[in-house]
Amino acid sequence: MKVMRLHTSEFIRRFLIHVLPSGFHRIRHTGFLANGIRRDRIGQIRQLLDAKTEPDQASDEAANTEPADPPAHKLCPKCGGAMVIVETFLRGQTPKCRAPPWEDAA
């Protein structure tokens, strides 16, 4: 362990680098098993290792790739993802779910 002496302003600057603004959450998605790329990377790893998929996994993936009927959800005009109705409420009634994120927060 190395002991360092810092000016107060430098210590505060280094400390505040690790503090997120209000409304933000630290999410760590790193490595080859990160959530966003897990399926692609596992397939690539199996291909590089010449490993075969297990029979129960292959049947589940085949069932998931062929939807029985087309999705009944509307598509998001920004990202193209499926929009799901979270809550329906009457005029004057207060919604129970939180508001959508702000445009500038993303």
Rounded to whole angstroms, how far apart are CA atoms 46 and 87?
Answer: 41
Residue-range domain boundaries for the chain? 8-70
* Residue 57 confidence class, pLDDT cut points 50, 70, 90: low
* End-to-end Cα, the chain, rounded Å: 38
pLDDT at position 7 is: 93
Instruction: Report the 3 state secondary structure along 26-93.
Output: CCCCCCCCCCCCHHHHHHHHHHHHCCCCCHHHHHHHHHHHCCCCCCCCEECCCCCCEECCCCCCCCCC
List, for residues 12-27, the tens digit of each pLDDT value. 998 988 888 888 877 7
